[in-house]
Amino acid sequence: MNAAAIHNAIDTVWRNESPRLLAALIRVVRNIDLAEELAQDALVAALEHWPSAGVPDNPGAWLMTAAKRRGIDLLRRQQLIARKHEQLGHDPEHEAFTMPNLDALDDDIGDDLLRLIFTACHPALTTEAQVALTLRLLGGLTTDEIARAFLLGEATVAQRIVRAKRTLAAKQVPFEVPRGDERTARLSAVLGVIYLIFNEGYSATAGDDWMRPALCDQALHLGRTLAGLAPAEPEVHGLLALMELQASRSHARVAADGAPILLLEQDRARWDQLQIHRGLAALERAEKLGGANGPYALQAAIAACHARAARAEQTDWPRIAALYATLARVTPSPVIELNRAVAVSMADGPAAALALVDTLRDVPAMANYHLLPAVRGDLLAKLGRHAEAREEFTRAASLTRNERERQMMLGRAAQ
Protein backbone atom coordinates (compact mmCIF):
# COMPACT_ATOMS: atom_id res chain seq x y z
CA MET A 1 0.00 0.00 0.00
CA ASN A 2 1.51 3.36 -1.03
CA ALA A 3 1.76 6.43 1.20
CA ALA A 4 -1.37 8.08 -0.25
CA ALA A 5 -3.42 4.93 0.31
CA ILE A 6 -2.12 4.65 3.88
CA HIS A 7 -3.09 8.24 4.65
CA ASN A 8 -6.56 7.69 3.14
CA ALA A 9 -6.91 4.58 5.30
CA ILE A 10 -5.86 6.54 8.39
CA ASP A 11 -8.40 9.24 7.59
CA THR A 12 -11.17 6.63 7.24
CA VAL A 13 -10.15 4.89 10.46
CA TRP A 14 -10.06 8.20 12.30
CA ARG A 15 -13.54 9.16 11.11
CA ASN A 16 -14.91 5.81 12.25
CA GLU A 17 -12.98 5.32 15.48
CA SER A 18 -12.43 8.80 16.92
CA PRO A 19 -15.89 9.09 18.54
CA ARG A 20 -15.42 5.83 20.48
CA LEU A 21 -11.84 6.75 21.33
CA LEU A 22 -12.88 10.18 22.64
CA ALA A 23 -15.83 8.75 24.54
CA ALA A 24 -13.64 6.22 26.33
CA LEU A 25 -10.98 8.81 27.12
CA ILE A 26 -13.49 11.34 28.46
CA ARG A 27 -15.01 8.65 30.70
CA VAL A 28 -11.62 8.14 32.33
CA VAL A 29 -9.95 11.58 32.36
CA ARG A 30 -13.24 13.54 32.79
CA ASN A 31 -11.91 16.38 30.68
CA ILE A 32 -12.86 16.96 27.03
CA ASP A 33 -9.77 19.02 26.16
CA LEU A 34 -7.38 16.47 27.65
CA ALA A 35 -9.23 13.61 25.95
CA GLU A 36 -8.97 15.40 22.60
CA GLU A 37 -5.25 16.00 23.17
CA LEU A 38 -4.65 12.32 23.89
CA ALA A 39 -6.71 11.27 20.87
CA GLN A 40 -4.77 13.65 18.61
CA ASP A 41 -1.50 12.25 19.97
CA ALA A 42 -2.72 8.77 19.04
CA LEU A 43 -3.50 10.00 15.53
CA VAL A 44 0.00 11.50 15.22
CA ALA A 45 1.45 8.17 16.34
CA ALA A 46 -0.56 6.39 13.64
CA LEU A 47 0.68 8.83 11.00
CA GLU A 48 4.25 8.12 12.12
CA HIS A 49 4.05 4.32 12.37
CA TRP A 50 1.43 3.02 9.95
CA PRO A 51 3.10 4.13 6.68
CA SER A 52 6.01 1.76 7.42
CA ALA A 53 4.31 -0.91 9.55
CA GLY A 54 0.95 -0.96 7.75
CA VAL A 55 -2.56 -0.47 9.11
CA PRO A 56 -3.08 -2.88 12.06
CA ASP A 57 -5.81 -5.51 12.01
CA ASN A 58 -7.63 -3.72 14.83
CA PRO A 59 -6.89 -0.02 14.27
CA GLY A 60 -9.33 1.13 16.96
CA ALA A 61 -7.55 -0.92 19.63
CA TRP A 62 -4.17 0.33 18.37
CA LEU A 63 -5.29 3.96 18.71
CA MET A 64 -6.70 3.27 22.18
CA THR A 65 -3.40 1.74 23.30
CA ALA A 66 -1.42 4.66 21.88
CA ALA A 67 -3.68 7.17 23.63
CA LYS A 68 -3.39 5.24 26.89
CA ARG A 69 0.42 5.23 26.76
CA ARG A 70 0.50 8.94 26.00
CA GLY A 71 -1.98 9.55 28.82
CA ILE A 72 0.11 7.62 31.32
CA ASP A 73 3.20 9.65 30.40
CA LEU A 74 1.33 12.94 30.60
CA LEU A 75 -0.46 12.20 33.86
CA ARG A 76 2.69 10.90 35.56
CA ARG A 77 4.42 14.16 34.62
CA GLN A 78 1.51 16.12 36.11
CA GLN A 79 1.70 13.97 39.22
CA LEU A 80 5.41 14.73 39.51
CA ILE A 81 4.72 18.47 39.21
CA ALA A 82 2.08 18.20 41.93
CA ARG A 83 4.58 16.50 44.25
CA LYS A 84 7.14 19.24 43.61
CA HIS A 85 4.56 21.85 44.60
CA GLU A 86 3.84 19.92 47.79
CA GLN A 87 7.54 19.99 48.64
CA LEU A 88 7.68 23.74 48.00
CA GLY A 89 4.66 24.39 50.19
CA HIS A 90 0.93 24.51 49.78
CA ASP A 91 -0.21 26.52 46.79
CA PRO A 92 -3.99 26.83 46.29
CA GLU A 93 -3.44 27.03 42.52
CA HIS A 94 -1.84 23.57 42.54
CA GLU A 95 -4.07 21.29 44.56
CA ALA A 96 -3.10 17.67 45.14
CA PHE A 97 -3.32 15.75 41.91
CA THR A 98 -5.11 12.42 41.68
CA MET A 99 -4.12 10.31 38.71
CA PRO A 100 -7.04 8.70 36.85
CA ASN A 101 -7.03 4.96 36.40
CA LEU A 102 -6.16 4.66 32.72
CA ASP A 103 -6.36 0.89 33.00
CA ALA A 104 -10.12 1.51 32.96
CA LEU A 105 -9.76 2.15 29.25
CA ASP A 106 -9.46 -1.61 28.86
CA ASP A 107 -12.95 -2.08 30.30
CA ASP A 108 -15.95 -2.66 28.08
CA ILE A 109 -16.77 0.85 26.90
CA GLY A 110 -20.44 -0.11 26.48
CA ASP A 111 -22.43 3.11 26.76
CA ASP A 112 -19.53 5.56 26.42
CA LEU A 113 -20.83 6.86 23.10
CA LEU A 114 -24.32 7.20 24.50
CA ARG A 115 -22.95 9.22 27.43
CA LEU A 116 -21.02 11.43 25.02
CA ILE A 117 -24.07 12.07 22.83
CA PHE A 118 -26.14 13.13 25.84
CA THR A 119 -23.30 15.26 27.21
CA ALA A 120 -22.80 17.10 23.91
CA CYS A 121 -26.54 17.87 23.81
CA HIS A 122 -26.85 19.09 27.40
CA PRO A 123 -29.62 21.72 27.81
CA ALA A 124 -27.11 24.14 29.34
CA LEU A 125 -25.81 24.64 25.79
CA THR A 126 -27.50 26.54 22.99
CA THR A 127 -28.67 24.54 19.98
CA GLU A 128 -25.86 26.07 17.91
CA ALA A 129 -23.30 24.96 20.50
CA GLN A 130 -24.86 21.48 20.70
CA VAL A 131 -24.59 21.08 16.92
CA ALA A 132 -20.98 22.28 16.82
CA LEU A 133 -19.88 20.12 19.76
CA THR A 134 -21.74 17.05 18.46
CA LEU A 135 -20.11 17.32 15.04
CA ARG A 136 -16.72 17.91 16.64
CA LEU A 137 -16.80 15.03 19.11
CA LEU A 138 -19.12 12.52 17.47
CA GLY A 139 -19.02 13.42 13.79
CA GLY A 140 -15.24 13.55 13.60
CA LEU A 141 -15.33 16.89 11.77
CA THR A 142 -12.65 19.52 12.22
CA THR A 143 -13.56 23.06 13.21
CA ASP A 144 -12.86 24.19 9.64
CA GLU A 145 -15.13 21.48 8.21
CA ILE A 146 -17.98 22.46 10.55
CA ALA A 147 -17.52 26.13 9.62
CA ARG A 148 -17.61 25.35 5.89
CA ALA A 149 -20.62 23.06 6.30
CA PHE A 150 -22.69 25.82 7.91
CA LEU A 151 -21.11 28.72 6.01
CA LEU A 152 -19.72 30.27 9.19
CA GLY A 153 -16.35 31.70 10.07
CA GLU A 154 -13.93 29.21 11.57
CA ALA A 155 -13.35 31.56 14.51
CA THR A 156 -17.10 31.64 15.21
CA VAL A 157 -17.34 27.85 15.31
CA ALA A 158 -14.17 27.58 17.39
CA GLN A 159 -15.64 30.04 19.93
CA ARG A 160 -18.86 28.02 20.13
CA ILE A 161 -16.95 24.82 20.83
CA VAL A 162 -14.68 26.45 23.43
CA ARG A 163 -17.64 28.07 25.19
CA ALA A 164 -19.55 24.79 25.13
CA LYS A 165 -16.66 22.97 26.81
CA ARG A 166 -16.30 25.74 29.39
CA THR A 167 -20.02 25.66 30.14
CA LEU A 168 -19.98 21.91 30.66
CA ALA A 169 -16.93 22.22 32.92
CA ALA A 170 -18.31 25.18 34.90
CA LYS A 171 -21.62 23.44 35.51
CA GLN A 172 -19.79 20.19 36.31
CA VAL A 173 -22.03 18.31 33.90
CA PRO A 174 -21.61 14.59 34.63
CA PHE A 175 -20.51 12.35 31.79
CA GLU A 176 -23.53 10.06 32.01
CA VAL A 177 -26.85 9.17 30.48
CA PRO A 178 -29.58 10.96 32.47
CA ARG A 179 -32.50 8.98 33.85
CA GLY A 180 -36.26 9.36 34.02
CA ASP A 181 -37.83 12.59 32.87
CA GLU A 182 -34.44 14.22 32.39
CA ARG A 183 -33.42 11.48 29.96
CA THR A 184 -36.65 11.89 27.99
CA ALA A 185 -36.14 15.65 27.76
CA ARG A 186 -32.48 15.28 26.78
CA LEU A 187 -33.26 12.59 24.19
CA SER A 188 -35.50 15.09 22.42
CA ALA A 189 -32.56 17.52 22.21
CA VAL A 190 -30.24 14.77 20.97
CA LEU A 191 -32.65 13.76 18.22
CA GLY A 192 -33.29 17.40 17.35
CA VAL A 193 -29.58 18.10 16.88
CA ILE A 194 -29.08 15.04 14.67
CA TYR A 195 -32.17 15.97 12.62
CA LEU A 196 -30.94 19.56 12.26
CA ILE A 197 -27.59 18.32 10.97
CA PHE A 198 -29.32 16.02 8.47
CA ASN A 199 -31.71 18.72 7.24
CA GLU A 200 -28.87 21.17 6.65
CA GLY A 201 -27.18 18.52 4.54
CA TYR A 202 -30.36 17.52 2.69
CA SER A 203 -31.53 21.05 1.84
CA ALA A 204 -28.77 23.57 2.46
CA THR A 205 -29.97 26.83 3.98
CA ALA A 206 -27.48 28.94 2.06
CA GLY A 207 -24.59 28.74 -0.36
CA ASP A 208 -24.11 27.46 -3.89
CA ASP A 209 -25.05 23.80 -3.37
CA TRP A 210 -28.52 22.31 -3.11
CA MET A 211 -27.22 19.53 -0.85
CA ARG A 212 -24.24 18.87 1.41
CA PRO A 213 -23.99 15.07 1.38
CA ALA A 214 -21.22 14.96 4.00
CA LEU A 215 -23.58 16.38 6.63
CA CYS A 216 -26.27 13.84 5.70
CA ASP A 217 -23.68 11.08 6.08
CA GLN A 218 -22.62 12.39 9.51
CA ALA A 219 -26.23 12.58 10.72
CA LEU A 220 -26.93 9.05 9.45
CA HIS A 221 -23.81 7.80 11.23
CA LEU A 222 -24.97 9.41 14.47
CA GLY A 223 -28.52 8.11 14.02
CA ARG A 224 -27.36 4.54 13.38
CA THR A 225 -25.03 4.74 16.37
CA LEU A 226 -27.80 6.00 18.64
CA ALA A 227 -30.22 3.32 17.39
CA GLY A 228 -27.66 0.67 18.32
CA LEU A 229 -27.11 2.19 21.76
CA ALA A 230 -30.78 2.90 22.56
CA PRO A 231 -32.64 0.04 20.85
CA ALA A 232 -35.80 0.39 22.93
CA GLU A 233 -36.46 4.08 22.11
CA PRO A 234 -39.09 4.26 19.32
CA GLU A 235 -38.37 7.83 18.26
CA VAL A 236 -34.69 6.98 17.76
CA HIS A 237 -35.77 4.43 15.17
CA GLY A 238 -38.34 6.87 13.82
CA LEU A 239 -35.66 9.47 13.15
CA LEU A 240 -33.33 6.88 11.65
CA ALA A 241 -36.14 5.68 9.37
CA LEU A 242 -36.85 9.22 8.25
CA MET A 243 -33.21 9.96 7.46
CA GLU A 244 -32.66 6.64 5.63
CA LEU A 245 -35.77 7.14 3.49
CA GLN A 246 -34.98 10.77 2.69
CA ALA A 247 -31.33 10.02 1.95
CA SER A 248 -32.35 7.22 -0.44
CA ARG A 249 -33.35 9.94 -2.93
CA SER A 250 -30.06 11.84 -2.76
CA HIS A 251 -28.64 10.73 -6.12
CA ALA A 252 -31.87 11.65 -7.89
CA ARG A 253 -32.27 15.10 -6.29
CA VAL A 254 -29.48 16.89 -8.13
CA ALA A 255 -28.87 17.16 -11.89
CA ALA A 256 -25.43 16.81 -13.46
CA ASP A 257 -25.05 20.61 -13.44
CA GLY A 258 -26.02 20.82 -9.75
CA ALA A 259 -29.57 22.05 -10.36
CA PRO A 260 -32.27 20.77 -7.99
CA ILE A 261 -34.68 18.06 -9.17
CA LEU A 262 -37.98 18.16 -7.30
CA LEU A 263 -39.60 15.01 -5.92
CA LEU A 264 -42.24 14.46 -8.61
CA GLU A 265 -39.67 14.89 -11.37
CA GLN A 266 -37.05 12.51 -10.00
CA ASP A 267 -35.97 9.29 -11.70
CA ARG A 268 -37.06 6.80 -9.06
CA ALA A 269 -34.84 4.12 -10.55
CA ARG A 270 -31.97 6.10 -9.02
CA TRP A 271 -33.39 5.87 -5.51
CA ASP A 272 -31.24 3.68 -3.26
CA GLN A 273 -33.27 0.54 -2.61
CA LEU A 274 -30.97 -0.65 0.18
CA GLN A 275 -31.54 2.57 2.11
CA ILE A 276 -35.27 2.31 1.49
CA HIS A 277 -35.23 -1.22 2.89
CA ARG A 278 -33.30 -0.03 5.97
CA GLY A 279 -35.64 2.90 6.43
CA LEU A 280 -38.79 0.78 6.21
CA ALA A 281 -37.30 -1.72 8.68
CA ALA A 282 -36.49 1.09 11.14
CA LEU A 283 -40.02 2.48 10.75
CA GLU A 284 -41.51 -0.95 11.43
CA ARG A 285 -39.40 -1.22 14.56
CA ALA A 286 -40.51 2.22 15.79
CA GLU A 287 -44.14 1.25 15.26
CA LYS A 288 -43.72 -2.11 17.05
CA LEU A 289 -42.23 -0.24 20.01
CA GLY A 290 -45.42 1.82 20.22
CA GLY A 291 -44.04 4.95 18.56
CA ALA A 292 -46.25 5.14 15.46
CA ASN A 293 -47.48 8.63 16.42
CA GLY A 294 -44.10 10.06 17.35
CA PRO A 295 -43.13 13.14 15.33
CA TYR A 296 -40.20 11.46 13.58
CA ALA A 297 -42.07 8.20 12.99
CA LEU A 298 -44.96 10.13 11.41
CA GLN A 299 -42.58 11.96 9.09
CA ALA A 300 -40.94 8.63 8.27
CA ALA A 301 -44.37 7.18 7.45
CA ILE A 302 -44.89 10.06 5.02
CA ALA A 303 -41.50 9.40 3.42
CA ALA A 304 -42.42 5.70 3.22
CA CYS A 305 -45.48 6.55 1.12
CA HIS A 306 -43.17 8.10 -1.46
CA ALA A 307 -40.67 5.25 -1.21
CA ARG A 308 -43.34 2.63 -1.86
CA ALA A 309 -44.61 4.37 -5.00
CA ALA A 310 -42.73 3.08 -8.06
CA ARG A 311 -44.07 6.05 -10.05
CA ALA A 312 -45.08 9.51 -8.86
CA GLU A 313 -48.70 9.02 -9.94
CA GLN A 314 -48.95 5.97 -7.66
CA THR A 315 -48.31 8.05 -4.53
CA ASP A 316 -51.00 7.71 -1.86
CA TRP A 317 -51.61 11.42 -1.39
CA PRO A 318 -54.79 11.07 0.75
CA ARG A 319 -52.77 9.01 3.27
CA ILE A 320 -49.95 11.56 3.23
CA ALA A 321 -52.45 14.37 3.87
CA ALA A 322 -53.94 12.38 6.75
CA LEU A 323 -50.50 11.73 8.23
CA TYR A 324 -49.67 15.43 8.05
CA ALA A 325 -52.94 16.21 9.82
CA THR A 326 -51.95 13.83 12.63
CA LEU A 327 -48.45 15.31 12.73
CA ALA A 328 -49.95 18.81 13.00
CA ARG A 329 -51.91 17.70 16.06
CA VAL A 330 -48.85 16.08 17.67
CA THR A 331 -46.47 18.97 16.98
CA PRO A 332 -48.43 22.04 15.81
CA SER A 333 -46.38 24.08 13.35
CA PRO A 334 -47.15 26.40 10.42
CA VAL A 335 -44.45 24.62 8.39
CA ILE A 336 -46.23 21.30 8.90
CA GLU A 337 -49.49 22.96 7.84
CA LEU A 338 -47.76 24.20 4.69
CA ASN A 339 -46.57 20.68 3.93
CA ARG A 340 -50.07 19.37 4.58
CA ALA A 341 -51.39 21.89 2.07
CA VAL A 342 -49.05 20.47 -0.59
CA ALA A 343 -50.43 16.98 0.07
CA VAL A 344 -54.01 18.30 -0.01
CA SER A 345 -53.31 19.93 -3.38
CA MET A 346 -52.30 16.55 -4.78
CA ALA A 347 -55.25 14.74 -3.16
CA ASP A 348 -58.06 17.29 -3.51
CA GLY A 349 -56.82 19.91 -5.95
CA PRO A 350 -55.02 23.28 -5.82
CA ALA A 351 -58.07 25.34 -4.81
CA ALA A 352 -58.55 23.42 -1.56
CA ALA A 353 -54.85 23.73 -0.80
CA LEU A 354 -54.71 27.46 -1.57
CA ALA A 355 -57.37 28.10 1.08
CA LEU A 356 -55.11 26.38 3.63
CA VAL A 357 -52.00 28.25 2.50
CA ASP A 358 -53.73 31.61 2.68
CA THR A 359 -54.42 31.08 6.40
CA LEU A 360 -50.64 31.04 6.92
CA ARG A 361 -49.85 34.36 5.23
CA ASP A 362 -50.41 36.39 8.42
CA VAL A 363 -48.49 34.03 10.71
CA PRO A 364 -45.43 36.02 11.93
CA ALA A 365 -43.11 33.01 11.84
CA MET A 366 -43.83 32.57 8.12
CA ALA A 367 -43.20 36.18 7.11
CA ASN A 368 -39.76 35.46 5.65
CA TYR A 369 -40.11 31.72 5.02
CA HIS A 370 -39.34 31.35 1.33
CA LEU A 371 -41.28 28.11 0.84
CA LEU A 372 -44.60 29.83 1.65
CA PRO A 373 -44.57 31.99 -1.52
CA ALA A 374 -42.99 29.08 -3.42
CA VAL A 375 -45.90 26.77 -2.59
CA ARG A 376 -48.45 29.51 -3.14
CA GLY A 377 -46.90 30.32 -6.52
CA ASP A 378 -47.15 26.67 -7.55
CA LEU A 379 -50.82 26.51 -6.56
CA LEU A 380 -51.63 29.77 -8.35
CA ALA A 381 -49.87 28.52 -11.49
CA LYS A 382 -51.99 25.34 -11.45
CA LEU A 383 -55.10 27.51 -11.14
CA GLY A 384 -54.03 29.56 -14.17
CA ARG A 385 -53.39 32.74 -12.16
CA HIS A 386 -50.02 33.28 -13.77
CA ALA A 387 -49.33 36.93 -12.94
CA GLU A 388 -49.89 36.27 -9.25
CA ALA A 389 -47.80 33.09 -9.45
CA ARG A 390 -44.92 35.02 -10.99
CA GLU A 391 -44.97 37.51 -8.11
CA GLU A 392 -44.88 34.68 -5.56
CA PHE A 393 -41.96 32.89 -7.22
CA THR A 394 -40.05 36.18 -7.46
CA ARG A 395 -40.66 36.78 -3.75
CA ALA A 396 -39.51 33.23 -2.91
CA ALA A 397 -36.31 33.85 -4.88
CA SER A 398 -35.64 37.02 -2.91
CA LEU A 399 -36.06 35.25 0.44
CA THR A 400 -33.93 32.14 -0.04
CA ARG A 401 -30.20 32.24 0.72
CA ASN A 402 -29.47 29.15 -1.36
CA GLU A 403 -28.27 30.07 -4.85
CA ARG A 404 -29.56 26.87 -6.49
CA GLU A 405 -32.98 27.40 -4.99
CA ARG A 406 -32.97 31.06 -6.00
CA GLN A 407 -32.24 30.17 -9.62
CA MET A 408 -35.01 27.56 -9.58
CA MET A 409 -37.53 30.09 -8.26
CA LEU A 410 -36.50 32.67 -10.84
CA GLY A 411 -36.89 30.01 -13.51
CA ARG A 412 -40.42 29.26 -12.32
CA ALA A 413 -41.20 32.99 -12.38
CA ALA A 414 -39.90 33.26 -15.95
CA GLN A 415 -42.16 30.40 -17.06
pLDDT in tens, 108-140: 445 788 889 899 999 999 999 999 999 888 877
What are the sequence ranges of the domains in the chain? 3-96, 318-415
What stretch of H or E contains 62?
A: helix 59-88
Q: Which of 45-59, 233-247, 333-347 has the lowest mean pLDDT?
A: 45-59
Counting Cα atoms < 13 Å in the Cβ hemisphere of 70 gives 20
* CATH architecture of the domain with range 318-415: Alpha Horseshoe (1.25)
pLDDT at 377: 97
How far is Cα 341 from Cα 298, in angstroms, rounded to an integer?
A: 16
Span 301-318, pLDDT tens digits: 999 999 999 999 999 999
pLDDT at 84: 58
Which residues are CB-contacts of 30 (< 8 A; sequence separation ≥ 6)?
Answer: 100, 175
Span 9-31, pLDDT tens digits: 888 888 778 888 998 888 888 88
DSSP 106: G
399: number of Cβ within 10 Å: 17
Instruction: Note whether 124 and 167 are within 8 A (CB).
Output: yes
Instruction: Note whether 21 and 50 are within 8 A (CB).
Output: no
Determine the straight-line distance between the first and last CA of the chain, rounded to whole angstroms: 55
Instruction: Note whether 51 and 3 are within 8 A (CB).
Output: yes
Band (pLDDT 50/70/90 cuts) for residue 94 is: very low
pLDDT at 5: 81
pLDDT at 109: 40
